[in-house]
Amino acid sequence: MAFDAVIEVRSVSKRFGGLLAVNQCSLEVERGSITGLIGPNGAGKSTLFNMVAGNFPPSSGEIIFDGQDITGLKPHELFKLGMLRTFQIAHEFSNMTALENLMMVPGDQPGESLTTLWFQPKKAATREAEVRQKALDVIDFLKLGHVKNELAGNLSGGQKKLLELGRTMMVDAKIVLLDEVAAGVNKTLLNDLAANIERMNKELGYTFFVIEHDMDLIARLCDPVIVMAQGEVIAKGNMDELRANPMIVEAYFGG
């Protein structure tokens, strides 16, 4: 089958004053893959991610999402197109239950703002019942049923991460961007998180693009893995191939 890219980064650069943080990077994320992005500190990973996610535009180059040029589009516009990024549960959401947190995620039906629904109470009630059911399905999938009525602020670190992942499942995401999702999560919970990412990928068909420092997690989840160093993409392969490549070992694993 032909390569089916969800994201294509074409010759993208980003300059911060005199610093070329990302230098003519090209890469692709294949539909259905869990693609990893690794590299030493300062390699340009977050800068590249921020451009893909619409946090700021590239200095030059193009970013294509599902065949559409999205260069310069803002995060909320990308959200509508189906590109989601996990975020830490904001402080103001910590006083809502896990279930309510999921129900807060905007629905996927364009044009149905709360105001228009407000004038159609019956439709609004149906919509709320649908959203609640979807939230319950997500809770079920992530095996969070026992804490669904707990305040999000009282959940463990790992449960919060699962809830963050759950929020991406409330809309029909074409791709989920994960930025250092393992940071601060203990090994057992990390295992849980990884298992759920795998299930979302295999059972539900989600595509993931992942920046991660935890090499065990990258090795377990990601194929392919793209390596950046000094603002450039220097290699792509599975983790075994990369670990066997002397140039990568030198540039990244420190020889």
Footprint of Mg ion on this chain (CB under 5 A)? 45-46
Is residue 58 near ligand ADP by the rule CB under 6 A? no
Q: Are 48 and 37 in contact (CB under 8 A)?
A: yes
Cα dihedral 225, 34, 187, 184 in deg (nearest 10): 80
User: Binding partner of residue 36 among Mg ion, ligand ADP, none, CB under 5 to 8 Å per kind?
Assistant: none
Q: Are 74 and 83 in contact (CB under 8 A)?
A: no
Kindly state the smallest distance separating residue 26's Cβ from ligand ADP, in Å: 17
Is residue 21 near ligand ADP by the rule CB under 6 A? yes
Determine which residue in the list 4, 11, 16, 146 makes contact with ligand ADP, applying CB under 6 A. Answer: 16
Is residue 9 near ligand ADP by the rule CB under 6 A? no
User: Binding partner of residue 16 among ligand ADP, Mg ion, none, CB under 5 to 8 Å per kind?
Assistant: ligand ADP
Q: Tokens 């969070």: give the residue.
A: 144
Closest CA to 83 of 91, 75, 93: 75
Residues 6+ apart with CB under 8 A from 130: none
DSSP string, 92-120: GGTTSBHHHHHHTS--S-TT--HHHHHT-
Is residue 45 near ligand ADP by the rule CB under 6 A? yes
Is residue 19 near ligand ADP by the rule CB under 6 A? yes
102 vs 248, beta carbon nearer ligand ADP: 248
Range in contact with ligand ADP (rule: CB under 6 A) among 43-51, 125-133, 180-188, 194-202: 43-51
17 vs 67, beta carbon nearer ligand ADP: 17
Kindly state the smallest distance separating residue 139's Cβ from ligand ADP, in Å: 33
48 vs 84, beta carbon nearer Mg ion: 48
**Interface positions with ligand ADP (CB under 6 A):** 16, 19, 21, 39, 41-47
